[in-house]
Structure 1
Amino acid sequence: MERLDIAKGRDQESTAALLQNSALKPLFITSVTIDGDNKLSPLSDSIYKSVLEPVLSQPLQTLKQSTNNFTEIKRKLVYTGLFRDVRISLDKETSAARLEKLPEDAIKDYNLENPIPTAATILLSPIEFNKVSATSTTTDSVSAFGGRYSVINALGRAEVLTLQNELRFVPFKGAIDENTLETKLVVPLQQNPSVKAVVDASYAKVDLRGRTCVEPQNQTVQNHASVNLGVQKAWINNKFKCVPTFYSGLSVIARDFKDPTSVTGPDCPYIKNSLVSHLLFDNRKFFGLFPSSGVKLAINNEYVISQKLDKNSGSSDPSEGNFNKFALTLQGQRSFFKNRVVNSLDFACGGIIPTGQTPSRVHHIDKFYLGGMDSLKGFEKNAVGKYGGDFFYKLQLASSFKLPNTPADSPLRLQCFLNGGDVFAGKPSRFSYAASSGVSLLYKSSVANMDLTYALPITNRIQDATKPGFSFGVSLSLF
């Protein structure tokens, strides 16, 4: 055996022929060399020892065992999220001096031949992270400015600590409507980096005064805080060429608590404890930043264990009025004529189902809302239906086109769309929906995203606030 490369990619197809003919050939792993790790913040020795344990603890193994072990080592290094590529090669050593310490009875156990002294080399290609970023977003209904700072692998455990802040305000109003602070820590497990512990905490101060999408009694300045503890699992799916992720954890939320800077406000906050879970599957392919083919599926579920309402709620049992909230989002694309035309489907639905013996009381933030450029074009933001609802559905069919005299991967495209949906509190007495159609000029790049839309509502329901004509949104990312 002169040299064996564990090929780039996440399967063993390139080594199948070699394994078939030499699967039982004995190897002795004399050394493992790692090259290319981030010199400023490399992975710790304890992580490497844990990942390399299958070959460090038993260096004498067959070729098939070595290939399987190093393939699993590669997968674990990819799961850390620090490397865009991991390549592993096995080379025959010219000197067999390191075999002298190998017990003779160990060789006899193979009953074949003397093992081949083999040196393993792991070549890492680190991902280049932007530790500091800022984003500015402007639309005709809301503007936002946010910043993010990340501390990545500072302790050598592939951990990521993220701190971010976002300010939202109505253009030309001159006052901040929402201030959000969030910190998130993600730490892979040492034995299995595909499993990560997640700790997330956030605080938000929201000014809902004048927001017609919520009930008049809720149009106040409100404070919200949350803490989430959970575990995230990822796995490489070679068949669909993607990395699905699943998260499950506990969420504790406090809302409507008194502002420490205000002399007035609610005395008894809303407290909610929930079990949350998220599943994400995404195998889409892109040209530039436009998806051209594949499917993205996201399923979110929240089971409310208990919720403490205000003093006037009339509930003495904290288990009463609980609910289960779920939402599903499905996006699919298919391209034609070498990405000159891309047809897409975007479907979403969700519901809030009572789980107690009494009707559930749902906080206005937990309700579903539709309307706006990022939800249902042709309608005011969150203005489909009245005060949100317990159930919703949305469907958008769209076709995007390459503009004449532009490259195939141009960040500028024209899109025609038809979208519709509804939000309602319970079983509707008759089938009804809000719908619109129009055209959008889209620009997507790593620095800026732009959406210039002309929409025409094709339904006229009294409970919807339509927005015919032009809408504009732009987002700038500064690194």
Structure 2
Amino acid sequence: MDLSGFSKELEKDSELSVLQRSSLKPLYFTSISVDGDNGNSPLSNTVYNSVLEPVLAQPLQTLEQSLSNFAEIKKKLIYTGLFRDVKISLDNEVSSDGLKDLPRDVAKDYALEMPIPTIARIHLTPIDLNRVSLTSFTGDTLSSIGGRYSFINNFGKAEVLTLQSKLAYQPFKSNIDEKVLEAKLLIPLQKNPSVKAVFDTNYANIDLNGQPFIEKKDQHRQKQVSVNVGVQKQWVNIKTGLAPVLYNGLSVVARNLDEVRKEASEAIRQFDAPFVKNSFVSQLLVDNRKFFGLFPASGLKFSINNEYVLSQTFDKKAGTAVSQNEGFDKLAVDFEAHRAFFGNKIINSLELACGGIFPAGKTSSLVHHIDKFYLGGISSLKGFERNSVGQHGGNLYYKLGLASSFKLPNTPSNSPLRLQFFFNAGDVQNKKPTQFSFASSSGISLLYKSSLANMDLTYAFPLTYRNQDIQKPGFSFGVSMSLY
């Protein structure tokens, strides 16, 4: 919060009569009280001492210094992620002992009257955090079930440890296509909670057999373990409503392919050995969307994800380790904007996305098929099978989405059920095409969004397509349910 905004907030408080008497007198803070913290897992005294240090270390301050320091304190408490609101009020210390700890010659130093003994009161409104959640998704081509448990502020450092898992499978088939386990730890810095240390580890077992977007000769199983260590920085701007989040860190990914067929293509066989990728990852997220229920009604969301691969190491079956010194850079940009009309009866949405994989050296680098871009599916490009647009995994991609959603007749204005007309188009290529072409479709969707369930029932018909695109005209559906 900026200084002027915080000053206006204080002036509205009836307890500020002491400050209204004279803005020239310095303030002497005799005590700071904090109430409203979570009784089961409050912040530790160490964290509070670090956050309140500007006032605790120098209790004698001018009014301007006090407003600036408490505005910064409010920001830091919000940055912990534990509180929805923080209110700070200043009041006169009526006790005659309010200035007993103040040196006698302090008035001479300021050449003013004796300071005003002041009490600072901080009232916290905690966020209702969900520690446990179960989520299931059912679609016509892919289903999944997962769970998450979070340990929040157990040590009083505003730390969050999240454990989650997911199983993905094709409906009406007995085999499991994907098993994922993940542990993620965020630890804010005590003196600056807007900066968080991030530790993330992930294990995935993926079965690509029977997937329509992969040729039968190239189908296989794959195991993957990744470790990510980095730093996350967040900013908050009250005036614009923007809260950018920046992450920078190092990533190590180890992969191993199983059950590779003898007739597999070179793109698959070249990775048929233990493989380790080291990279530097940067992510930027800017999101100021405002929601009507759970439908984004206004604002924008913008994200940039960049991965610079430092090295790739292949442990060949012959026992020789071959290092690919020339890595590559993978860049993806996503943008979406929303605007409502006629009191949210109509919401128009625009989505743009593009990305590319570029060699870091003069020669092209090997790119694992999991690292490539894919398009297609109800959550990606409607009207086409999952991951089945263009090259079915390529180095370049783009996507355009236009949509208008409407309130259904005879339903409440805040109904979670809306009708949406959409148009989407895109393509995936390994290199810049010599002839411009793309896959596109249009259709209508019935959407339902609530805190417990989301539904997307879509009827789509492809408008333009190529031989390599796998169409999916007609109905598609996806239903997700969450229990907290």
What TM-score bracket applies, with the shorter chain setting the length?
over 0.9
Preserved CA contact (<8 Å) 1:215 1:387: no
Following superposition, the deviation at residue 25 of structure 1 comes to: 2.6
Report what 2:450 is aligned to.
Answer: 445
Residue identity in the other structure for 2:117: P
1:464 to 457, 460, 469: 469
SS in 1 for 2:393: strand
Q: Distance in 2 between matches of 1:231 and 1:337?
A: 43
Report what 1:3 is aligned to.
Answer: none
**In the superposition, relative to structure 1, how do residues 13 and 309 fare at CA in structure 2: closer, same or farther (>3 Å)?**
farther
Deviations 1:33-54 (A, max 9, x none): 0001111110001000000001
Following superposition, the deviation at residue 100 of structure 1 comes to: 1.9
Report what 2:403 is aligned to.
Answer: 398
Runs of at least 5 residues in structure 2 that lack an aligned partner in the other structure = 260-268
**In the superposition, relative to structure 1, how do residues 356 and 189 fare at CA in structure 2: closer, same or farther (>3 Å)?**
same
Following superposition, the deviation at residue 215 of structure 1 comes to: 5.1
Instruction: Find out whether 1:256 has 2:261 as its counterpart.
Output: no
Report what 1:154 is aligned to.
Answer: 154
**In the superposition, relative to structure 1, how do residues 408 and 206 fare at CA in structure 2: closer, same or farther (>3 Å)?**
same
Report what 2:106 is aligned to.
Answer: 106
**In the superposition, relative to structure 1, how do residues 286 and 10 fare at CA in structure 2: closer, same or farther (>3 Å)?**
farther
Q: Distance in 2 between matches of 1:415 and 1:348?
A: 20
Preserved CA contact (<8 Å) 1:448 1:475: yes
Q: Distance in 2 between matches of 1:78 and 1:368?
A: 37
**In the superposition, relative to structure 1, how do residues 15 and 363 fare at CA in structure 2: closer, same or farther (>3 Å)?**
same
Q: Distance in 1 between matches of 2:45 and 2:283?
A: 33
Residue identity in the other structure for 2:199: V
Runs of at least 5 residues in structure 1 that lack an aligned partner in the other structure = 1-5, 260-264
Report what 1:284 is aligned to.
Answer: 289
SS in 1 for 2:67: helix
Deviations 1:14-33 (A, max 9, x none): 45899999543311101000
Report what 1:118 is aligned to.
Answer: 118
Residue identity in the other structure for 1:318: Q
Preserved CA contact (<8 Å) 2:331 2:357: yes
Instruction: Find out whether 1:302 has 2:300 as its counterpart.
Output: no
Report what 2:279 is aligned to.
Answer: 274
Preserved CA contact (<8 Å) 2:462 2:473: yes
Preserved CA contact (<8 Å) 1:384 1:422: yes
Following superposition, the deviation at residue 174 of structure 1 comes to: 1.2
Q: Distance in 2 between matches of 1:364 and 1:400?
A: 36
Query: Larger deviation: 16-25 or 77-86?
Result: 16-25
Instruction: Find out whether 1:214 has 2:219 as its counterpart.
Output: no
Residue identity in the other structure for 2:313: K
SS in 2 for 1:68: helix
SS in 2 for 1:345: strand
**In the superposition, relative to structure 1, how do residues 9 and 35 fare at CA in structure 2: closer, same or farther (>3 Å)?**
farther
**In the superposition, relative to structure 1, how do residues 145 and 305 fare at CA in structure 2: closer, same or farther (>3 Å)?**
same
Residue identity in the other structure for 2:346: V
**In the superposition, relative to structure 1, how do residues 418 and 209 fare at CA in structure 2: closer, same or farther (>3 Å)?**
same
Residue identity in the other structure for 1:476: M
Report what 2:200 is aligned to.
Answer: 200
Report what 1:417 is aligned to.
Answer: 422
TM-score, with length taken from structure 1: 0.93
**In the superposition, relative to structure 1, how do residues 267 and 394 fare at CA in structure 2: closer, same or farther (>3 Å)?**
closer
Residue identity in the other structure for 1:68: S
Preserved CA contact (<8 Å) 1:7 1:87: no
Deviations 1:210-237 (A, max 9, x none): 2232355541111001000000000112
TM-score, with length taken from structure 2: 0.92
Preserved CA contact (<8 Å) 1:7 1:14: no
Report what 1:63 is aligned to.
Answer: 63
**In the superposition, relative to structure 1, how do residues 301 and 23 fare at CA in structure 2: closer, same or farther (>3 Å)?**
farther
Residue identity in the other structure for 2:324: P
Report what 1:240 is aligned to.
Answer: 240
RMSD between aligned alpha carbons? 2.3
Residue identity in the other structure for 1:121: R
Deviations 1:401-422 (A, max 9, x none): 0111112211010000011000
Residue identity in the other structure for 2:380: S
Preserved CA contact (<8 Å) 2:3 2:71: no
| Aligned ranges 1:317-466 → 2 under 5 Å | 317-320=323-326, 322-466=327-471
SS in 1 for 2:94: coil
